[in-house]
Every structure is written in C-alpha cells, then in structure tokens.
Homo-oligomer: A and B are copies of this chain.
C-alpha cells in the first residue's frame, strides 16, 4: 500500500515496471507536492537563509547537499535533494571518504514502508542500525524537482560508531539503493554505486564586512574552454591587468561557475606572475601541456583561491591584498581544476573568479607567510607508516626579530602537503605553553586545499612560537619519502594570511644535518648492514639504504623530537634575517592544549530509538 514510490511523481524513478504502472494510477502530471511531515520540528532551524551552503555530491549532479551550521546548538542542518530516487539512499561521513567505517543516514524501503535511520558501516562495509539515533529527520518533501530530506546532526554524539564533525575537511559519502530491501542490515556498501565529496562543513560564522562605496569588480574567467573528456585537467589561462593599472586592494572575491558545470569545477586559483618579467606570453591550455610557455612557472603569487563548497572570501575590514601599480606584474594566471570522472565530453566552461577591489587603499596591506618545514630531504618519512608526524617550527627568536611590537593578525590559512599528507595543524605557543590552534585539519586531503577563513583571528606577538605538524601515511611506499619539491617528495606548509604585512615571508625549520648524519651512523652500527654513512652519499641515498625496522623508525622519530634545528627566518625564499640560525634548540613546550571533550547531546530522551517510518501521505499542492 505505502510501497516506496508508489505515489511518486513521474519524474521519480521507481524500482520496477509494475510499480511504475501503479504510480500512474496515483500520479498526476501537474506539480504534485507530497509533504511528509514525519515528526514535529524539534528545535528551530537557524534564521536567515536556512541553507547558505550548497554542494553537488555526485558528478551527475543528481544529489545536492545544502547545509547550515548552528554553533549555538552545535548542530549541522542538512537538506539533501535527491533528484532521481530509486529504492533509497545512503549519505554520511567517514574519515577519508571510504564507505567502510562510515557514519551514515539511510533512507530505504522494504517495498511496503519507507524508513529513515541513523546507521553505520563496519570495516567490511556491512551496514548496521545505530542503537542511538543521532541523525534526526525534520521533514521529507516531494517536489517536481526531487525529494528533499531535511535532517540535523549534532557535531558530537558520543556514540563510538559516529563521526565527530570537526573544523576542516569533511569527507561526505553517498550510495544509491537500487532495489527495496528486506532490512537495513541487507546493505553492504561494496555492492552499491557510491561516491565521495570533500567539503569544509563547519564554515566559520563571520559577518561579512561592508564593501567600500568605490568597489569595482574584475572577472578572471576561462575563455569558453572545452573541458577535456578526462578525469583530471588543470587548465592554465593567462590574462593581464590594464596598462597603467594602479595599486589597488582586493577586498573580496567570489567564484563564477558556468551553469551546469557545478559538479565539474573542483577548484580555481588566480596567481600573479613575478615582477621581473616585462611580459608573459598569452596561453590557454592544460597546465601540463608541452606547449605551455616556461615563463608561466613564475606565476605563483596567490591572489585568490576557491575550492568546491567555498563561498565568497572577504578580507577583514582593515586590510586588503595589494595588486597593480609599480613593482608588481600585470600578468595573472588563472588555474582551473576540472574534475571529470565520468569523462563527459563537449562541455564548455567560462568559470572563474570575480575580484572586488578598491582604489581607496585600506589601512593595512595583507601578507602571506609560509610556516612549517623547509623543503629539504633531511626531513623524511619511513615507508609503511600509517601516521608519521613531522614538525616544523617558527621560533621565538625569529618572531622576536621580525614581527612588529604590536604583532600580526592571522585571519586565513591554506594548508599544504603533497600526496601522503593526512593531517595538518599549526599551534601557537607562548612562554613554553601551547595557547591556541591557528588552523587544524584532522581529515586533510592534498586534493582539497582551500584558503580558509579562521573562525577567530589569531594574533602572533614577538617571541611567540608557531608549531606546524603534518601527519603522513606512507603505507603504499617502498622507500623513505624525503622532503622536497617533487610530487613524490613531501612538504608540510601552512600559508597564513595576515596583516599588517611584514618582511618575514618564511619561518620554517628542518633538523640539523649533522645530527642526521649521527643517525645514519648509529643505524649502521646497530644493524650491521651496509648503510652508506659516507658523506659523499646524498641524504636521499642514505635514507634509501636504511633497513626500516622498528628501531630505526623509533630512533628517527626520537631524533626529530630532540635534535637541534636549522631555522629559515627569511625575508624572501633566499634572504635570511641576520643572526645565527643553525643548530638552534627545539622550542620547549611544557604544556599542551587539551583536546576539548566533545559535548554529547544533553537530552537523550528526545531522540528516537529506532528508524523513523515515513508514512507517505499528503495532498496536492
């Protein structure tokens, strides 16, 4: 009777022809509006626009997620639009986008009734109902455009099988159910059509500063590009500022996405080229094209960066990013990452970024500073590690020398590693005590590097220490992964956006090379192996000859946590501030920040203890 889809609008796919026939008995061609009020709305959704954030989940764009965050309730409100519903859908979150060990909400039908329940998948992908139902259905609504599911989830549930929604990247996952099920436990995610989408779910709750009256806009857009029919394309396009374009401040920028390409445009960045070149050749093509002029490699100064799910980026009221005027290049490089896993052909695109700028310069120029590790092979990760941590320091000595007495104010941050990076965090320490997190991503992905506004501006004073740690997974590597520029080498960097601009561009460290040589010597001594400890061998060669047993791994960790460091406290990548920067002591941190204990939802009584039955009834709208 209440068989799933049995009263469906014709636009909805239904499980079998016989059901489709039944559907025609009930269905009408006009806009049928089936409102399924499942439960009294508990609590009220935040005011304003109820769902300011949107993201397509699948490459076809048949699943669309909108959401909002209530920091007061520590709850995310989700609205999932399912354009083509078959027998149900799984949606949820997992550590790195896998469908195993995922925290799921499942909408399914057994043929008779439809259900909505909080579930999880174990390490084999077997789905089970949660004893504690933390996803709470607020409304289910059918429209001609598809089924809207409105539900909420607290950040933390204290159910050990649930995902903890944290700042930083969240890997959203989905799966499509094609057939009705006897029970939820009949689902194994390995048999489904599934996918993942990365997003920063907990967008900061920052009020947008008003734009100046003389704000003008400039669009840096792809020139009607034919998106290649391949999974990954980085498109490069050179444009230029008008001749004589004077110094301005960028105060805001926002994405422009060509309609219909929302699921294809993965991220975009606008770079300014190096000032030393009079001109840069015009180019529009894949960034890895052999035809690409070599000079484009010198267009690396970030002016704007956007990634999927991000909205407009506003500079704080008192600051702007300078561009134009003497001493800066007129040439801009737009880079668009097209992610086209279905290899759709023939799609054209003019996406880009719209810069909002003012001639009335704001009080402060914004600056970008690089924190973390120097790009050097002395910092290496042994192979077959699941969570090896490397740490780079910006020491008190350097901040003492290079920061103004009133300090600097970090308002945004972009984390960066290469392929094996899994987590990144920067912590501010003062007087030997960790004080606050500058930025942290416990589910960092090298494939999703956004500039993120900080929830709270972090002020750094002379004498403060900034500690950036990256966690790597090298399970798929046979040899050590050393630091460096190559894509198979590693980096650990946090580009922090701050004001007022200082001359300090780079505050990074690496282990003292002499101590690393002592390490190779002891490896040789303990392992009776032919580790080349001769100075003629390069550090990557030395690392490649280490036999990676537990002792050599542990001692390398101990070395990195103990040996003195070599500091790069630099005005530009090559010019150091004056002073002694080699064999510096590691900053001592006596007290660590405590992990905040997640608040479990207070009233457990309100939550349903089992799945919600969607009694599909309602009238015509």
Contact = CB atoms under 8 A, between A and B. Distances in A.
Interface string A556-570: 011101110000000
Given A518-B526, A522-B522, A555-B555, A160 B550 contact: no
A107 B361 CA distance: 68
Contacts of A604: 604
B555 A554 contact: yes
A11 to B, nearest CB: 43
A554 B555 CA distance: 7
A604 B558 CA distance: 46
Interface string A504-521: 000000000001001001
Most chain B beta-carbon contacts within 10 A, residue among A555, A557, A604:
A555
Nearest to A604: B604
Nearest to A550: B562
Contact of A554 (B160, B515, B554): B554
Contacts of A522: 522, 525-526
Which of under 10, 10 to 19, 20 to 34, or 35 or more describes the interface residues of A? Answer: 20 to 34
B160 A597 contact: yes
Interface string A99-126: 0000000000000000000000000000
Given A518-B525, A525-B522, A604-B604, A557 B554 contact: yes
Contacts of A515: 526
Given A522-B525, A525-B522, A550 B554 contact: no
A550 B555 contact: no
A469 to B, nearest CB: 16
B555 A558 contact: yes
A245 interface: no
A600 B522 CA distance: 49
A561 B551 contact: yes
A44 interface: no
A549 interface: yes
Contact of A550 (B525, B558, B597): B558
Nearest to A561: B550
A258 to B, nearest CB: 50
Given A518-B525, A525-B518, A604-B604, A562 B551 contact: yes
Contact of A558 (B160, B554, B562, B597): B554
A598 to B, nearest CB: 10
A555 to B, nearest CB: 5
A558 B561 CA distance: 14
Contacts of A563: 551
A607 to B, nearest CB: 11
Nearest to A522: B522
A322 B553 CA distance: 50
A412 to B, nearest CB: 34
A515 B555 CA distance: 15
A579 to B, nearest CB: 23
Contacts of A549: 562
Nearest to A562: B551
Contacts of A551: 558-559, 561-563
Contacts of A518: 525-526
A128 to B, nearest CB: 14
A160 B555 CA distance: 34
Most chain B beta-carbon contacts within 10 A, residue among A515, A558, A559, A561:
A558
Contacts of A554: 554-555, 557-558, 561-562
Most chain B beta-carbon contacts within 10 A, residue among A525, A554, A561:
A554
A119 B358 CA distance: 60
A520 to B, nearest CB: 12
Contacts of A553: 558
A160 to B, nearest CB: 7
Contacts of A555: 554-555, 558
A498 to B, nearest CB: 32
A563 B559 CA distance: 19
Contacts of A558: 550-551, 553-555, 558
Contacts of A597: 160
A271 B494 CA distance: 67
A557 B561 CA distance: 14
Nearest to A602: B131
Interface in A66-82: none
A526 B563 CA distance: 9
A130 B553 CA distance: 43
Contacts of A526: 515, 518, 522
A525 B555 CA distance: 14
A554 B550 CA distance: 12
A515 to B, nearest CB: 8
Interface of A: 160, 515, 518, 521-522, 525-526, 549-551, 553-555, 557-559, 561-563, 597, 604
28 contacts: A160-B597, A515-B526, A518-B525, A518-B526, A521-B525, A522-B522, A522-B525, A522-B526, A549-B562, A550-B558, A550-B561, A550-B562, A551-B558, A551-B559, A551-B561, A551-B562, A551-B563, A553-B558, A554-B554, A554-B555, A554-B557, A554-B558, A554-B561, A554-B562, A555-B555, A555-B558, A558-B558, A604-B604
Kindly list the 8 A-B residue pairs having the minimum CB-CB distance in the complex, ordered from nearest.
A554-B558, A551-B562, A522-B522, A551-B558, A550-B562, A555-B558, A555-B555, A550-B561
